[in-house]
Amino acid sequence: MAQAERPGGAEATHIRAGTVAELAEKGMAVVGGRRGPILVVHHEGAFHALDNRCPHLGFPLHRGSVEDGILTCHWHHARFDLGSGGTFDLWADDVPVCAVEVRGDEVWVAAECGHPFAASYWRTRLQDGMAHNLGLVIGKAVLALLDRGVPAGELVAEALLFGARNRDGWGAGMTILTALANVLPHLDEEDRYLALIQGIRRIADDADGAPPRRERRGLGDGAVDAGALRRWLRHWTLVRHRNGGERTLLTAIAAGPGPGALCDLLLTAATDRCYAGGGHTVDFINKACECLDAIGWERAAAVLPTLVADLVSARGEEESNSWRHPVDLVPLLEGSFAGLAERWRRGRAAGAGWSGHAALTQRLLADDPRAIVAALDAAIADGASGDDLGRALAYAAALRIARFGTANEHADWETAHHVFTYCNAVHQGLKRIDGADRDGLSEALRGVYHGAMAIYLERFLNVPPARPPDAAAGEGEALPRAADDLCAALLDTLDRHRQVDGGARIVARYLALGHDPARLIAALGHALLREDAGFHCFQMYEAGVRQFHEWNGAPEGHDILIAMTRYLAAHAPTERARFQTADIARRLHRRTDLHAGEDAAP
C-alpha cells in the first residue's frame, strides 16, 4: 500500500510507491496522487513517474506499453518520452511527470505531477496549438493560463497577432475572435472559455497551411501630406495595386493619426466601390479597428495592412447586374453624392437633436430606391449624424431578418445576414469617425447609401413577410413565465431543426414579460458557442448584441434580438464536434475521469 509523507503534519509531499524489488518485478504500478493517479514505471534500471492519464483523452496509461524508453498509449497510439513526458505526437500534448526518489530499498514519488514553470510552459503550448492547429492543445492551454490569472484579453491579443503574422491577409478567424472578444462581458463565465477556444481555433484554422504575411515598409522618413496619402490609397485601391496600398497605409499609420482618422481613411477607399466584396470589405475594416481597440492601437502597423489585399481586390456592386437593372442605382447614388457636402453643411448648421430614427427606418424599407435616397438626403440636411443614420440603417437591415420568410431558400439567409452585418459595420465606423471630428464630412457616409440600396434589393426576401410573434395577443401562453425556464426552453428549442418561429416566440415572450435582456443574451451566446457555428453566426450574434444596446431598451432592440434568434435557429443544431473537444479539455483540466472504471484509478 502506498504511504504518504507529511513532514510536520503538512499536506503530503511524497508518496511511497513500493520497494525497488516490487516495482522492478511489476514494471508498472499506479499510486494515488494529490490530484489523481500516478503511474510509476521501472524501465532499463531506472524509475519514472508520470500522470496516469493520457493527456489526449485521459485513457489510463498503465494499460499502454513501454519499449526503448517510449511509453505508448494504446487508445490512439500517442507516444511519449518516458523520462520527460514529452510527446512525439503533437496532437496528444505532453504528459506531466513527477520527481522520483529512491530511499534505500523504497521508491517515493512526488505527490503531484506538474510542468516546471507552468505559465511559460502553457504559453508555449498555446503557440504550438495555434501553429499546428491542435484544438485540444489550445483548449487545455487556455484553461491553464486562465487558472494562472492570465487575463482573457492577453490571450485574445496573442492569438490576433499570431493571425496577423501567419496568414497573408485578414481572415475569417480574425473577425470571429474579435467579435467574440467584444461579447465576452455578455457571456456566462463558463461560456467565456468556449468563446476563447472557438475564436482562437478559427485563427489556427486560417493559418493552417497558409503562406505567412510578408511585411512591407512605409515610404520613408519624409513627411507626406495627409491629403496626398488619402488620394494615393484611393488610387491604389481602384487600380488594384496591393503594394502601393500597403506602403501608403503604413506611411499614414507612422504619421500618428488617431483611430478615427485611420478608420476614415480606409472606409473612404472602401466606399469608392458600392457594397464592396458583398459587404465584407467594410465589415473587415470595422473589425480590424475593433481588434485594435482590444489589443491597442500602437499595434496598428501589424494589423491594418492585413486589410489591403481584400481592399484592392474586392468587386464593387456597380459591376453587377442587380445594381444596374431594372433600375440603374449607380447614377442615382452619384447624383446624390454630388450634393452630399452641401447637405452635410446644412445639417451641421441645424444643430444636434435629430430624432427621426424610427421614421427613417420605415422609409429605408420602401420599394422605391429614389424615395429611399431622398429620405437619406433629407435626414442629413435636417441634422442626422453618421451615428444616427447608421443606427436607423442597421435596424432596417435587422427587420429584413426578423421578417425573413422561411419559404425562401436556406442560402437566402446569408443575403440578409450580409446586409445586416455590413450596416452594423458602417454604423460603428461612422460612430468612430464622428467621435474624431463631429463637424467634418466623411465620404465614408456613402456607405449608408450603399447599405440602403442593399436593403432595397433584398426586399423580396420579405414577400410574404414572416408574421412577427405577438406576445401581447397571447402567443406563447403555453410557455413558462420564469426567466430561467424560458432560457432553458429556448436552448431546448434550438436543439432541434426548423425552429425559427419557435425560438422567436420564446424570445418575444421573455421580453414582453420584462425579464432582464442580459440573461437572454447570455443564453443565446451559449446556444451559439455549443455549435460548430459558421463564420456568419458569430458575426450575427455580435452585431445583434451591439445593435440591441444601441437602442437602450427601446422596442426596436427587441426586434433585433428576435432577428438574431431567428438566424441562429435557422443554423442549429450542428454536430458540435468543437464543443466536444472543448469539453474534453475542460474535463481533463478538472481531472475528471473520461474513462471511468476500475482500471482508471489505483
In the structure grid, which three cell numbers stand for residue 403, read together?
421578417
Question: Which residue type does 268 have?
Answer: T
The DSSP element (H or E) to which 66 belongs, if any, is: strand 65-67
User: Is the model's pLDDT at 131 over the cut of 70?
Assistant: yes
- The yes-or-no verdict on residue 596 having pLDDT over 70 is no
> N- to C-terminal Cα distance for the chain?
10
State the CB neighbour count (10 A cutoff) for residue 346. 14
Average pLDDT, stretch 279-297?
Answer: 99
Q: Which of 253, 254, 174, 258 is nearest to 210 (CA)?
A: 174
Instruction: Report whether pLDDT(352) > 90.
Output: no
Q: Is the pLDDT confidence value at 472 over 70?
A: no
Site of grid cell 505526437: 89
| pLDDT surpassing 90 at residue 12 | no
Mean pLDDT of 577-585: 96
pTM: 0.93
Classify the C-alpha dihedral 273-279-284-285 as positive or negative: positive
Segment among 48-57, 279-288, 394-403, 586-595 with least mean pLDDT? 586-595
Provide mean pLDDT across the span 266-280: 99
pLDDT for 65-112, tens place per residue?
999 999 999 999 999 999 999 999 999 999 999 999 999 999 999 998
Among residues 29, 34, 134, 47, which one has the least CA distance to residue 92?
A: 134
Burial of 67 (0-12, 13-18, 19+ CB in 10 A): exposed
Q: List CB contacts of 161: < 8 A, sequence separation 6 or more.
A: 295, 299, 302, 303
Closest CA to 426 of 403, 457, 395: 395
pLDDT of 600 over the 50 cut: no
479: region left, alpha or beta (phi > 0 left; psi from -120 to 50 alpha):
beta
CA distance 550 to 540: 15
CA-CA distance, 503 to 134, in Å (whole number)? 34
Least-confidence region, from 388-397, 512-521, 584-593: 584-593
Closest among 213, 281, 292 to 253, alpha carbons compared: 292
Percent of the chain with pLDDT over 70: 95
At 455, list the grid cell: 436593403
Average pLDDT of the chain is 94
Distance CA 257, CA 50 (A): 55
Q: Say if residues 404 and 416 touch (Cβ distance below 8 Å).
A: yes
What is d(CA 7, CA 88) in angstroms, rounded to the nearest whole number? 38
pLDDT band at 388 (very low <50, low <70, confident <90, very high): very high
pLDDT at 8 over 60: no
pLDDT at 434: 84
pLDDT tens sequence across 200-217: 999 999 999 999 999 899
Share of the chain above pLDDT 90, in %: 88
Cβ–Cβ contacts within 10 Å for residue 63, how many?
A: 16
Instruction: Tell me the sheet residues that pair with 42.
Output: 47
d(CA 16, CA 38): 11
Which residues lie closer than 8 Å to 324 by C-beta, 6 or more apart?
318, 330
pLDDT of residue 477: 82
| Residue 130 CA: distances (Å) to CA of 90, 198, 445, 529 | 12, 12, 38, 19
pLDDT band at 602 (very low <50, low <70, confident <90, very high): very low
Reduce the DSSP state of residue 282 to 3 states and report it: helix
Q: What is the predicted pLDDT for the residue at 441?
A: 86
| pLDDT band, residue 326 (cuts 50/70/90) | very high
Q: Where are the domains of the chain?
A: 3-114, 118-207, 471-579
Query: Higher pLDDT residue, 298 or 9?
Result: 298
User: The domain 471-579: what is its CATH number?
Assistant: 1.20.272
Instruction: Report yes or no: 44 and 71 within 8 Å, Cβ to Cβ.
Output: no
Span 31-58, mean pLDDT? 94
pLDDT tens readout for residues 215-249: 899 998 777 899 999 999 999 999 999 999 999 99
- What is the helix (H) or strand (E) element at residue 223, kind and residue range? none
When the candidates are 3.90.700.10, 3.40.50.10490, 2.102.10.10, 3.40.50.2300, the CATH number that belongs to 3-114 is 2.102.10.10
Band (114; pLDDT cuts 50, 70, 90) = confident
**Looking at residue 3, what is its pLDDT?**
60
- The Cα–Cα gap between 155 and 143 comes to 11
Q: Does residue 173 register a pLDDT over 90?
A: yes
Assess whether pLDDT exceeds 50 at residue 389.
yes
